[in-house]
Amino acid sequence: MRTLSIGELQRNSSIVTNLKEAIKIVDKRKKRDVAIVYPIKDRKSGIVDKMAGKYKTIFSKKADYNKERDEALTKAFGEKYGFFG
């Protein structure tokens, strides 16, 4: 990951359009990170899969997340309040 200051980004905005890797934007005066920008040109693998790491295989891409959430809440409330239904 490369680091850029806000001033460099303002002078040369074409950096963002030609991204090949993630960049971190830094405010040099206040000495803090402002943003992290990721490229979106790599649509085959996707940035979500890269960020998910080892957890990307846990859920299928076509999973019904509402159903899974409801089952998890039912189980959690069942354990907490003694309801097993």
**What pLDDT sits at residue 78?**
86
Query: E strands within 1-85?
Result: 2-5, 23-27, 32-37
Q: Domains of the chain: which residue ranges?
A: 1-41, 44-85
**What pLDDT sits at residue 24?**
93
Is the overall model pTM greater than 0.95, yes or no? Answer: no
pLDDT digit string (tens) for 24-81? 999 988 889 999 988 875 555 566 666 777 776 776 666 677 888 888 888 888 888 8
Total Cβ atoms within 10 A of residue 23: 19
